[in-house]
Chain A
Amino acid sequence: MLDKKRALATAASLMLCGPAGAQLLSEPIQPLPEKMELDARKVSLGRSLFLDKRLSKDNSLSCASCHDLAKGGVDGRQSALGIKGQVGPINTPTVYNSGFNFRQFWNGRAATLEDQAAGPINNPGEMGSNWPEVLGKLQKDPKTVQTFYAIYADGVQPRNIQDAIATFERSLVTPSRFDRFLRGDDSAITPDEKQGYALFKSYGCVACHQGVNVGGNMYQTFGVMGNYFKDRGNLTEADQGRYSVTGNELDRHVFKVPSLRNVALTAPYFHDGTAPTLETAVDVMFRYQLGRPAPAADKAAIIGFLKSLTGEKEIAQ
């Protein structure tokens, strides 16, 4: 039943949680909720676990090492760095607003944030630890044990660690000026940004990047209108995308469409981190996803709109 509650919470967060005028309802992008109903104690515990390096084998990395909250929830690197300097296979997606994604990881292999939280901890190439080790370390700390027991009847357990981290991650919601615009504040974004939004819709970017998270609610093939991987070369396992999860040929090079919220802060872009700037990323999208050229001025306007998606502040809990 707990899982059902979690899903309902996520589902509810995907729903429109504000004034729903006719104009707002007709928009493909919807505003973030103004308030998240989360257990403040779990959020607090989850935050401390998120920053806790004891979750890695050699106490050198925490979740925040890759998902730096001060850097848009990413590490700014092409690929993530694991323990002992191991270079990971894929670019770190942002943790901000990840609670609104319908699946987690680029290939969608985790159905929930709880499942996702366990992944890096147990991955030898990332935090390189395992649950017995993590539990051993945390159970030696009386203060942590006490905090766990205050929230969970069975104390320090893997599922409780996952629950707390996931709850904290759900609290990482970043309303932007564009959300205020969607809620009716016409002056929240500039005329140029409005023009950029209009172009974002008319060029078809919005076909995939829509919904409350401006993406994150579907999968899409990378290279719809052109062969991105042939042109880029050096095919890696990470390039297989969802195929590596399902083994279905139709899923080769299929990835979860990333959210564009805070996109101005999360360079480099794409699962392979090959686009160092928004300008490059937009060019690649026009070429391989939209299959059409666009004047530089239109691309600049779209980038201007994308910058209006940068969060102004996290929602206060």
Chain B
Amino acid sequence: MNALFRTLAWLTAACLLLAVFAFLYLKTQELNVGSRDTVSSLLRDLRQIDAEIDNDVLRSKTGLNKNYDPVARAQQLIGAAQQSLASQKLENLDYSLKVAEKGLTEALAAKLDLVDRFKAQNAILKNSLRFLPTAADDVKQKLREARDASGRPLQLPALADGVEQILVETLKLDAASDNAALARVRSLISLLVQGRSEYPGAVGDSFDIFANHVITILAQKEREDDVLEQMANVPVSQQIDSLGKAFAASFAVASDRHDQYRLAMFGYGAFLLVLLAFVFGRAGRRTVRVAA
């Protein structure tokens, strides 16, 4: 019975000693040393794609980009980089990183949403701006063809001049917009709209289309400017910086802890080897004594 207890005691002690070693070993495996490079690279990619989006949005605004594929491509790349970042499970390193990552995710979502709005508004704006000269020509053409009750050419000089002036002002507005210019066009179109009852049949119809597009341009111009301003204020860079700094700090702490556990594991391993040597030595001496 004593021998059985002794064997069990020895086995328990051996298991405990090995469990401590296993614990230390697992602790040294918690930190993925390669994750530092991966996360840094992903954050760098995000920063670059974010800059590319800003660049492509401006190129679309100025007409240098003939389509929205470059912007859409950058949006997809951001989504992919976010998924890769999420797969790193930063919260395992330090739970507080989850907050920083959430901040970045929200900033990117806000940015992508604004980019979608920009594309939609820019397309409407371009559509109306492209059509406006045709619409103005149409009003003038219908005006030339219009006759009064006595069959003489209809005289509406204010309409003809107003349409031309609005066309020029609106096209200038596209190149460089300011609130004063917007207000000027708005005032001009309001004046013409007030006189709408004087425009006969076809002239009135063509004027309605012209006015509709001018009003659309004014509204879209304001919305586009607003979206661009909001986009500039989305703190993507700051959130990337913030996550990068938080990650670096957490990684440094985890790295120190990792080094400590590694040191402890080596020390403990050495202790176990000495203990093993002692046990085997003692067992060997006992065997010799028993044999003698």
A residues sitting closer than 8 Å to B (CB atoms) are 1, 3-4, 6-8, 10-11, 14-15, 25-30, 102, 111-112, 202-204, 207-208, 210-212, 217-221, 224-225, 246, 248, 250, 254, 289-293
Contacts and interface: CB of A to CB of B under 8 A. Distances in A.
Given A15-B73, A208-B123, A217-B67, 4 more contacts: A219-B116, A219-B120, A291-B128, A292-B213
Given A14-B73, A28-B67, A290-B131, A218 B84 contact: no
B47 interface: no
A71 to B, nearest CB: 27
20 contacts: A1-B84, A3-B84, A4-B80, A4-B81, A8-B77, A14-B76, A25-B66, A28-B67, A111-B76, A204-B131, A208-B127, A211-B69, A217-B67, A218-B119, A219-B120, A221-B120, A254-B120, A290-B131, A292-B135, A292-B209
A102 B216 contact: no
B68 A4 contact: no
B212 interface: yes
A3 B80 contact: yes
B79 interface: yes
Given A218-B116, A218-B119, A218-B123, A7 B76 contact: yes
A254 B124 CA distance: 13
A7 B79 contact: yes
B68 A217 contact: yes
B253 to A, nearest CB: 26
A312 B31 CA distance: 54
B79 A111 contact: yes
Interface residues of B, number: 33
Contacts of B170: none
B76 A291 contact: no
Interface in B106-164: 113, 116-117, 119-120, 123-124, 126-128, 130-131, 135
Most chain B beta-carbon contacts within 10 A, residue among A3, A202, A248, A289 = A3
Contacts of B77: 7-8, 11
Contacts of A218: 68, 72, 116, 119-120, 123
Interface of B: 66-69, 71-73, 75-77, 79-81, 83-84, 87, 113, 116-117, 119-120, 123-124, 126-128, 130-131, 135, 209, 212-213, 216
A182 to B, nearest CB: 12
B130 A207 contact: yes
What's the dominant secondary structure at chain B's contact region?
helix
B206 to A, nearest CB: 9
Contacts of B216: 224-225, 291
B228 to A, nearest CB: 16
A30 B67 contact: yes
Contacts of B131: 203-204, 290, 292
A207 B116 contact: no
Nearest to B71: A217
A81 B76 CA distance: 31
Nearest to A3: B83
A291 B68 contact: no
A11 B73 contact: yes
A220 B126 CA distance: 13
Contact of A30 (B69, B124, B130, B212): B69
A207 B69 contact: no
Given A26-B66, A202-B130, A210-B66, A102 B80 contact: no
A217 B118 CA distance: 12
A226 to B, nearest CB: 9
B58 to A, nearest CB: 17
A170 to B, nearest CB: 13
B32 to A, nearest CB: 14
The 10 closest A-B pairs by CB, nearest first: A7-B80, A204-B127, A210-B67, A102-B72, A217-B72, A211-B67, A218-B119, A211-B69, A207-B127, A207-B123
